[in-house]
Chains A and B, each alone.
Chain A
Amino acid sequence: MTPGEADPLHVHDLTVAYRDKRVLEDVDLTIPAGRLVAIIGPNGAGKSTLLRAVLDLVPRVSGTVEIFRRRYREQRRLVAYVPQRNSVDWEFPTDALDVVMMGRYGTLGWLRRPGRSERDAAMRALEQVGMAAYAGRQISQLSGGQQQRVFLARALAQNAQIYLMDEPFAGVDAVTERAIVDLLSALRSEGKTVVCVHHDLDSAPYYFDWAVLLNVRIIAAGPFSEVFTPENVTRTYGGSLSSFGRLVRGMSAAVG
């Protein structure tokens, strides 16, 4: 695979290790523009680490990451990040609007303070996820799903081209799930690229159009209909799923 003219994300020969254990090995990955991509794999497969390595948050043993054919560090503004919801302490003394405004801090840069335009951008982002009514709500008073939507709004406020999301569907209510699905298709229709770590094999083919099957190494990557085969899933999970047979059957039915 060679990076095409406008490939938003290109990962080459990426290896990441925590102490002596390799969590990602020789990862080569090219994601085309305008796709909704699910990264799928068992626990410990390195899914979150792949996102974090792209964002330069973990040291790499080897490898390069290119965003639209240039190094990530030069293209930071084009990449938005939605960390796992439980990665922060929601008891922090602030409200939803303030958290969403943090999405503008990168563009503001050092020392400059957020003002009216950052506020307006944050309000628009909250509206997009159906959370405008909660702008002034203390963040610990929000439900898990609402907190997730605040995080999504913060990424929207970054106004990026690529959105990297770490398990946005984890433990959310039906309203939030609907809101995220709508948001993903809205982003796709704007030509943006979304890469999500996703745990649920059942829903994956319905929400996403591209799959990356990962277990330390890339097992397969491509359109769902091509790569989401029982053989590939078996190779990815290595029989570690208890309800495995049922899943594989359901999956074949879903992809058709």
Chain B
Amino acid sequence: MIFSDLLFDYTLRNVALGSALLGIVSGVLGSFAVLRKQGLLGDALSHAALPGICLAFLLTGTRAILVLLLGAAITGWIGALLLIRIVRDTRIDEDAALGIVLSTFFGFGIVLLTFISKRNDANQAGLDRYLFGQAAALREENVVTMAILGAVALCVVFLFYKEFKLATFDPEFAASLGFATGRLNVLLTSLIVIAVVIGLQTVGVVLMAAMLVGPAVAARQWTDRLGVMLLLSSFFGATAGVAGAMVSVTQARLPTGPMVILSLTLIVVVSILFAPRHGLIVDRVRRWRLAGARS
């Protein structure tokens, strides 16, 4: 019954497709972010997208989603580049720099959001849905936009797979071979911005980081190969997306974004506990056997 709904119910189909697309793209790009120890980069990026949404609305007066997403992409990208520059040019460490960028941009975004909502503009309502996402409002053309953006991002990863792998594992060696690691870094960060933009309508700026980190962390538990990790990660992301969408649309009006994140959390917890080689339980059993053998 639920599966026929998935095909024929307009809202459910869009929500599920949108969430699945987000899961696939954020699963692939989040894997690189996690392997580069930049798991929180997505958090800074998505929070930095909020002022962009508000500015785009204030400047154009329209709530057309493409315009708002463009604004989000621009400030998200500025936040990311600022972060890269702070780490490169100052003594501030990455975690502190993330904190600075995240809270400054998000604070500014909240100020703009409050300013907009107090203007009593008939057109103003609803920008705050980008905080936690509102997947139920997804329309077919939004899903198509997400699919195009996601396809572009995935094609770039496919093309530069070798370069991304090398620059993630050993950036100095990559530079010694003549690869422009600075540009690769900016390219990868830009792709993460695309993932964030795709996720704004579904999970929103606050929960987006989990969509980047969660699938990657779960996938890493099951495999020791980068290619497999990327595939598994996008599979986990998509599964969480569809599961969250189905629960939220079919059961008593639960919010989609948080349901997607909770489904993802379940996958992460199961992976950390039960994965065959790296899982905690296997690890415990192994230690217990070792201790037994010794006594």
- Give A residues with C-beta under 8 Å from B: 52, 55-57, 73, 76, 79, 81, 83, 87-89, 92-95, 99, 102, 105-106, 108, 110-114, 138, 140, 154
Measured between beta carbons, the chain B residues less than 8 angstroms from A55 are: 175-176
Q: Given known contacts A92-B35, A113-B162, is B173 in contact with A102 (CB within 8 Å)?
A: yes
CA A81 to CA B174, docked complex, whole Å: 10
Measured between beta carbons, the chain B residues less than 8 angstroms from A88 are: 169-170
Query: Are B176 and A81 in touch, CB under 8 angstroms?
Result: yes
Query: Are A102 and B159 in touch, CB under 8 angstroms?
Result: no
With an 8 A cutoff between CB atoms, is B172 at the interface? yes
A73-B178, A93-B224, A102-B170 given; name 8 further pairs at CB < 8 Å. A52-B172, A56-B175, A81-B172, A93-B223, A93-B226, A93-B228, A95-B224, A106-B178
Query: Are B220 and A93 in touch, CB under 8 angstroms?
Result: yes
Which chain B residue lies CB-closest to A19? B91
Q: Given known contacts A76-B177, A94-B225, A95-B225, is B162 in contact with A87 (CB within 8 Å)?
A: no
Smallest CB separation, A164 vs chain B (Å) = 9
Selected from B37, B172, B177, B229, the residue in CB contact (under 8 A) with A106 is: B177
Main DSSP-derived SS at the B contact region: helix
Q: What are 7 A-B contacts with C-beta separation under 8 Å?
A: A81-B173, A83-B173, A92-B168, A92-B169, A93-B35, A102-B166, A106-B178
Measured between beta carbons, the chain A residues less than 8 angstroms from B166 are: 102, 105
Selected from B163, B168, B226, the residue in CB contact (under 8 A) with A110 is: B163
Smallest CB separation, B131 vs chain A (Å) = 34
Smallest CB separation, A81 vs chain B (Å) = 4
Query: Are B172 and A83 in touch, CB under 8 angstroms?
Result: yes
Complex interface bits, B151-182 against A, C-beta within 8 A gives 1, otherwise 0 = 00000000111110110111011111111000
Smallest CB separation, A111 vs chain B (Å) = 6
Measured between beta carbons, the chain B residues less than 8 angstroms from A83 are: 170, 172-173
CA A56 to CA B177, docked complex, whole Å: 10
CA A94 to CA B175, docked complex, whole Å: 20
- Give B residues with C-beta under 8 Å from A: 35, 37, 159-163, 165-166, 168-170, 172-179, 220, 223-226, 228-229
Measured between beta carbons, the chain A residues less than 8 angstroms from B226 are: 92-94
Query: Are A93 and B176 in touch, CB under 8 angstroms?
Result: no
Selected from A89, A95, A105, the residue in CB contact (under 8 A) with B162 is: A105
CA A42 to CA B159, docked complex, whole Å: 44
Which residue, B37, B160, B172, B179, has most C-beta atoms of chain A within 10 A?
A: B172
CA A73 to CA B177, docked complex, whole Å: 10
CA A140 to CA B37, docked complex, whole Å: 17
Smallest CB separation, B35 vs chain A (Å) = 6
Measured between beta carbons, the chain A residues less than 8 angstroms from B161 are: 113
Smallest CB separation, A140 vs chain B (Å) = 8
CA A83 to CA B224, docked complex, whole Å: 23
CA A75 to CA B175, docked complex, whole Å: 14
The 10 closest A-B pairs by CB, nearest first: A106-B177, A138-B224, A81-B176, A55-B176, A88-B170, A92-B169, A93-B226, A93-B224, A76-B178, A93-B229
